[in-house]
Structure 1
Amino acid sequence: MQVTFQDVTVRYGEKTVLENFSRTLDFSGVTALLGASGVGKTTFLRVLCGLERPASGRVVGFPARYTCLFQEDRLLPWLSARQNVAIVSGAQKARETLEKVGLGAELDAKPAALSGGMRRRVALARALAHDSAFLLLDEPFRGLDKACRDALLPLLAQEAQRRPVLLVTHDPAEAEQLRAKTWTLHGSPAEL
């Protein structure tokens, strides 16, 4: 899948994050977007999928059906873990996906009863369970220990066999373990 940025500029007040950014990007398998905190990785993702409008320019070729896992878990507090996932996939797939992320025993727990790492895995399960053309993950392993992260990385590799995955991270080890194509944002305004 190819997506083209055409002269995209993004500003927040006086700060320019992207300036006249033009590039055609080829997404296949896992692509890791690396960069220091605050360089503009999340902004890049939000502009890519149309959640944020650039001050000028446009993005062409992004699919209409995509799934995005944000840095915040965005779980519905009145629903159980299973219900939070089932809203995008149905009950059976929700159960299966929660089991894959190690939460088979927590299906009926509400977010308030789960640890931060468990809530993160519910959010990841919801993203994995949603059927779409493209999977965007913004710091999906934030708050998870290394053992948990290492157990979840094969799920992303498996997912990348059926749809492109963009992994936004500051950790090059995640990209290496996934054998991801790697892009690095750097500078101000950011360059790729």
Structure 2
Amino acid sequence: MDISPIIAGIDEAGRGPLAGPVVAAAVILDPARPIEGLADSKKLSAKRREALAGLIRANAIYAVGIAEPEEIDRLNILHATMAAMSRAVCALPVRPDRALIDGNRVPDGLPFDADYVIGGDAIEPAISAASIIAKTVRDRLMTDAEQRFSGYGFAGHKGYGAAAHMTAIRTLGPCPIHRRSFAPIRQGRLV
């Protein structure tokens, strides 16, 4: 009988963009079903991320937490990120004994031990898996947003401050998924 502690890795995607949600994921890997090739999602091609996301979904336990732009504007990006991380890990169908969070902070009030791991998405497999799930979910949400808010190019730049995105905001103005509290939009530098 395996009595190893159950470890959940937690990471997020989408802290820096001007539009869209911040998405966090929590993943519990099964030691009996290892997944080869886990790495920081930012270091992987989109095709490789999608392939690994499928393996994670098939071989691990995972959950996602989201903070929408309105919540980001109300709380600020740090607190909204912590809320999304807490939602993700608390939504797991199995309660972990411990959580490892990428970064330098731990969400308040988690009902189990938790530690942060700076650069954890590159060194801790469960955090790498969470990074991949968070990134692929957020990318899909932003691709879907292109259908609802055409003209902004969300499918390409995913809400980041690319030149085409800045031009679209100047031309069309901000749409409902833009983060109004972020300086370029708040200060009117783009509109």
Q: Shared topology, TM-score over 0.5? A: no
TM-score of the two chains, using structure 2 as the length reference = 0.26
TM-score of the pair, normalised by structure 1: 0.26
Flag the structure with higher strand content: 1
